[in-house]
Chain A
Amino acid sequence: MASVRKLGETTLWGLQRIGRMGLFLANAILCAATPPLKISWIIKQIWFIGFQSTLVILLTGAFSGMVLGLQGFYTLNRFGSTALLGPMVALSLIKELGPVLTGLMVTGRAGSAMTAEIGIMRISEQIDAMELMGLNPFRYLVVPKLIAAMIALPLLTAIFDVVGIFGGYFVGGKLLGVGEGTYFGEMSNYVRLEDVLEGLYKSLSFGALIAWICSYKGYHAGFGAEGVSKATTQAVVLSSVLILFWDYIMTSLLF
């Protein structure tokens, strides 16, 4: 009987959490859809989430593309089809690796900072102060991050893809001898607009997901430094897992 009660309690607790997270997102979307939008706060967040993540995206994109070029060349060489290295690298990056790895890198770099920033504002009563001024903290803290992440993620993913494709070309073309015309020519034959759009939709949704989870965790951070540190860890872990889960759902259902 006790185990049934425990199971029931755990289920209810889980449903309550999901409900709270859903309401949080609904509130953020409602605030984003109604004026006033805090444009300067959004620009600041685009700079933080987007521009400041560029270096890490350039590095991870380049190395991911180089590894793909290397692995792809030796695998395709077994079948005598190294000419398809370009499409293989491009499709892997555009459809999957670009959006997913960009999402994971942004979660680690900017998502954790979002949670910590909002969490510290929560425990130091800055959010309470905003409410007492008659201001809706969602408009200042959550909506700018949500919009900025949805703008920055697709742009960062595009950078990741382009750098990765050139990284693959550097290894496959310059070091291993696949011709430039073959690499890029076959790529333009096989990569369709739908593939690019698939990556774009994924990166858009990952942006929303990161901002949602990381803001939620910060907004509901516990007491003291420990509460913020716990919230930050939870935000990064949950965002990362949900990115991979949502990637599978999108790939299987939509494309």
Chain B
Amino acid sequence: MIRMEEIHKSFNGFPVLKGVSLEVKKGEILTLIGGSGHGKSVILKHIVGLIKPDRGRILIDGMDLSQLKGNQLEALRSRFGYLFQGGALFSSLTVFDNVAFPLREKTKRTEEEIRVKVLHQLEEVGLSDAGHKFPAEISGGMLKRTAFARALVTKPEIILFDEPTTGLDPVIAHTILDLIQSIHANLSFTGIIVTHELGRVFPIAHRVAMLYEGRILAAGSPEEILSSGDPIVRQFISGSGEGPIQFSER
């Protein structure tokens, strides 16, 4: 479904991606792991065309993203949901209006239909009572759940999660991952979860890929990654300070 071929990307002359090749099959959840600042979020932004690669190509269902313009790109993007690391909620809108925004602007539904759909979505993420609040008035966990509700409200085929549990306490992080798992069971979306919190995300992942020094170092099932003999993968998973990954690289 999603195929990245030899993606290279530099920022201000500093190479971040040095030939990333990755494939995600329809309906599977791929967890992308790797150190902070190694370009995991950059990969997600390439997949939705927010960043263009210097070299290489990205195919979505066989369509080359670099060849899509205007309406075609817009149509492709409407198949995606994206959970931004910081939520990216519109600060001038309430929680309800944030979730309703894509429906109001991109569909011809009546206000009553939108109200019913948004309330259902808010209930699904456990925010029934928070619809009237503004993003500045809610906690980090509620913010992520609102962003999740907004990403889900259009029933996308593909959802990209950028650090969905970072900065949350273990209970809320667990709740968010449970939500992802239960909604995947209902909608069977294709998902990519970017994280460096391995223990929490592995149970819901079908496959795991590790990004290291701008390339995919290892990819496989969670069990294969956990039992990997690669010293870099092993050090990253164990979180040890000793090993080939140096402090300066992180």
Q: Is A1 on the interface with B (CB-CB < 8 A)?
A: no
Contact B91 A128 (CB under 8 A): no
Contact of B84 among A120, A121, A129, A134 (CB under 8 A): A129
Establish whether residues B50 and A131, one from each chain, have CB atoms under 8 Å apart when the complex forms: yes
Q: Residue A126 at the B interface, CB < 8 A?
A: yes
Q: A134-B74, A134-B78, A135-B106 are known contacts. Are A128 and B101 too (CB-CB below 8 A)?
A: no
Q: Is the CB of B50 within 8 A of A124?
A: no
Interface 0/1 of A94-137, CB less than 8 Å to B? 00000000000000000000000000110011101101111100
Cα–Cα distance between A249 and B90 once the two chains are bound (Å) = 40
**A134 B77 Cβ-Cβ under 8 A:** yes
**In the complex, how many angstroms separate the beta carbon of A27 from the nearest chain B beta carbon?**
13
Choose among B45, B50, B80, B88 the residue with the greatest number of A CB atoms under 10 Å from its CB: B88
**A125 contacts B84, C-beta separation under 8 Å:** yes
Q: Is the interface of A mostly helix, strand, loop or mixed?
A: helix
B105 touching A132 by the CB < 8 A rule? no
A128–B84 CB distance below 8 A: yes
Q: How far is the CB of A34 from chain B (nearest CB, A)?
A: 13
Complex contact A128–B88 (CB within 8 A): yes
CB proximity of B109 to chain A, nearest CB, Å: 15
Q: Is the CB of A133 within 8 A of B102?
A: yes
Interface residues of B in 42-92 (CB under 8 A from A): 45, 48, 50, 74-75, 77-78, 80, 82, 84-86, 88-91
Q: Are B77 and A125 in contact (CB under 8 A)?
A: no
Specify which chain A residues have a CB less than 8 angstroms from the CB of B50 in the assembled complex: 128, 131-132
Contact status A126-B102, CB under 8 Å: no
Contact indicator B82/A132 (Cβ below 8 Å): yes
Complex formed: what's the CA distance from A88 to B50 in Å?
56
Within 8 A of B (CB), among A180-203: none
State in angstroms the CA–CA spacing of A134 and B103 once bound together: 11
- In the assembled complex, which residues on chain B have CB atoms less than 8 Å from the CB atom of A134? 74-75, 77-78, 106
Cβ contacts under 8 Å, B105 to chain A: 133, 135
Minimum C-beta distance from B155 to chain A (A): 14
Question: Could you tell me the distance in whole angstroms from the C-beta of B113 to the nearest C-beta in chain A?
Answer: 18
Task: Fill in one digit per residue for B84-121: 1 if any A CB lies within 8 Å of its CB, else 0.
Answer: 11101111000000000110011000000000000000
**From A120, A121, A124, A131, contact of B77 by CB (8 A):** A131
Contact A129 B82 (CB under 8 A): yes
Contacts of B82 in A (CB 8 A): 129, 132
Asked whether A124 and B78 contact (CB < 8 A) given A132-B48, A133-B101, A134-B106, the answer is: no
List chain A residues, Cβ under 8 A from B80: 132
Pick the residue among A125, A133, A135 that contacts B86 (CB under 8 A): A125
In-complex Cβ contact of A126 among B48, B74, B77, B89 (8 A): B89
- Cα separation A135 to B77 with both chains bound (whole Å): 10
Closest residue of chain A to B48 (Cβ to Cβ) is A132
Interface 1/0 per residue, B154-182 and A, CB below 8 Å:
00000000000000000000000000000
Which chain A positions have C-beta within 8 A of B85?
125
List A contacts of B102 (CB < 8 A): 133
Contact with A along B114-144 (1 / 0, CB 8 A): 0000000000000000000000000000000
Determine the distance from Cα of A160 to Cα of B217 in the docked complex, in whole angstroms: 66
When distances are taken between beta carbons in the complex, the residues of chain B under 8 Å from A124 are: 86, 88, 91
- Measuring CB to CB, which residues of chain A are less than 8 angstroms from any residue of chain B? 120-121, 124-126, 128-129, 131-135
Supply 12 further A-B pairs (C-beta < 8 A) apart from A120-B91, A125-B84, A133-B101. Answer: A124-B86, A125-B88, A126-B89, A128-B84, A128-B88, A129-B84, A129-B88, A132-B48, A132-B80, A132-B82, A133-B105, A135-B105
What residues make up the interface of B, taking CB atoms closer than 8 Å to A?
45, 48, 50, 74-75, 77-78, 80, 82, 84-86, 88-91, 101-102, 105-106
Sample (14) of A-B pairs whose CB atoms are under 8 Å apart: A120-B91, A121-B91, A124-B91, A125-B86, A125-B88, A126-B89, A126-B91, A128-B88, A129-B88, A132-B80, A133-B77, A133-B78, A133-B105, A134-B75
> What are the 3 tightest A-B residue pairs by CB atom distance, in nearest-first order?
A125-B88, A129-B88, A134-B74
